[in-house]
Amino acid sequence: MDIVQERRLLTEIPGPRSRELQRRKLASVSAGVGVGLPAYITRAGGGVLVDVDGNQLIDFGSGIAVTTVGNAAPRVVERVQRQAAELTHTCFMVTPYEGYLEVCEALAELTPGDHAKRSALFNSGAEAVENAVKIARAATGRQAVVAFEHGYHGRTNLTMALTAKSMPYKAGFGPFSPEIYRAPMAYPLRWPGGAQACAEEAFEAFAGTVRTQVGADRVAAVVVEPIQGEGGFIVPPAGWLRRVADFCREHGIVLIADEIQTGFCRTGDWFACDHDGVVPDLITTAKGMAGGLPLAAVTGRAEIMDAVHAGGLGGTYGGNPVACAAALGAIETMRTENLCARAREIETLFRHRLEKLRHRYGAIAEIRGRGAMLAMELTAGAGDLTPNPGATAAINASCHRQGLVTLTAGTFGNVFRFLPPLTAPDHLLQEGLDLIEQAFQEHLG
Ligand code: PLZ
């Protein structure tokens, strides 16, 4: 890693060269593709992004939970370079190669449960979720799929239907795929009966929705994020996921855990399901798995994965050799650098600072998340849960101006979330937290 791990501001953010590129963006890229912070990046490493004006930004987003092992991580780069020089593509369905198998073997070993497993590889998270639904339907002979309020599963037609939030993901893009049903999410902070009652009542509300609105024997799959990502890092109460899993087993429903954002060390375990002791039937992965190259997977029980007819799953690029090489480099990095433990360390470091802030600002209703996937939900003030997207956006913009790349989330746009690379050094994380503190000071006094 040859980039000095420090923030360095040479110009305002974005600087003049970035602003010039942003003018070209407006003239050449669809307006439908938004940009959060228009600082154009040329190099990155560890927890630092270097922009075209020479500024060094601190990365608290990891490109939305992707560069878990750090940007341009040495083992990823080494394997990608070697692979790209030898073989870039055959299409696994035409003439196969070993890297695809190695990734599927690693997935079988690392994902929850010690049953026989199979995997199939794809290009994006949405494609993985879409294929998991196809597989569950083929295996059960049923059509209905149940997803949750605040859930996010992608932007393709089927995954838009699974995704809860209308603006910006769905508005104007219908009609949506049929046979998708939505159940209430166990969201302790906003559960009408209070956080204490949430586990029990939210499970009953889910089971009630399935029984009365769909019919449990018509449901092919329940799709759930063990900790919701785009929805605002919503952590369901202990025991809720296990009860959902038990309900699925009882009714022959395939439980699909969408671990695209939570997987691969992010939450301090290999997968967030591990924390709850839940073994899903199918698990979807992407993002952190391949250190920045596009790769996604569906992994699951052999009898479910093998229920699909030969030729029923695939795609030209799924499991591309270079992306597979990147995944093997990323997984090797997670193992040798014990990044699950590092995520837990980061949680301790962040929580200490964020809780101090929460005591100072009544507008911070809650600090939540797990491992290096943490967030704060901002409301109108102490005791008032009215969402505060205005303060969230203003604080986020202040961080950007100071060279800290942060992200927001949440159905109401009032969640400020942190997803640092797990290889970022402590001093950089502390500096980022200083900037967050200053931004709160600036906007909330
Ligand atoms: N499932 C749980 O978090 C992607 C979305 C960014 P793709 N989340 C980032 C955006 O605004 O498009 C995600 C996820 C969960 C599925 C997906 C979809 O993964 O690789 O973006 O298709």
Buried b (16+ CB within 10 A) or exposed e, 198-224: bbebbbebbbebbeeebebeebbbbbb
Task: Quote the ligand 1 centre to 153 CA distance (angstroms).
Answer: 6
Q: Would you tell me how many other CB atoms lie within 10 Å of the CB of residue 141? A: 8
Region for 319 from its dihedrals, namely left if φ exceeds 0, alpha if ψ lies in -120 to 50, beta otherwise: left
Closest residue by CA, ligand 1 atom 10:
154
| Of 376, 389, 107, 404, the residue nearest 264 (C-alpha) | 107
Mean pLDDT of 346-364: 98
Answer yes or no: is pLDDT of 68 > 60: yes
pLDDT 10s digits, 216-253: 999 999 999 999 999 999 999 999 999 999 999 999 99
Q: What is the pLDDT of residue 184?
A: 98
Task: Quote the ligand 1 centre to 117 CA distance (angstroms).
Answer: 24
Q: 16-72+339-444: what CATH class?
A: alpha beta
Distances (CA, A) of 411 to 47, 198, 258: 28, 19, 18
Q: Where are the domains of the chain?
A: 16-72+339-444, 75-336
Confirm if 116 and 282 have CB atoms less than 8 A apart.
no
Mean pLDDT of 248-272: 98
pTM here? 0.98
Task: Quote the ligand 1 centre to 356 CA distance (angstroms).
Answer: 31
Residue 2 banded pLDDT, cuts 50, 70, 90:
confident
- Which residues line ligand 1 at a C-beta cut-off of 6 Å? 64, 124-126, 129, 152-155, 225, 229-230, 258, 260-261, 286
Pocket test for ligand 1, best of 133, 163, 287, 415 (most atoms within 8 A of CB): 287
CATH number of 75-336: 3.40.640.10
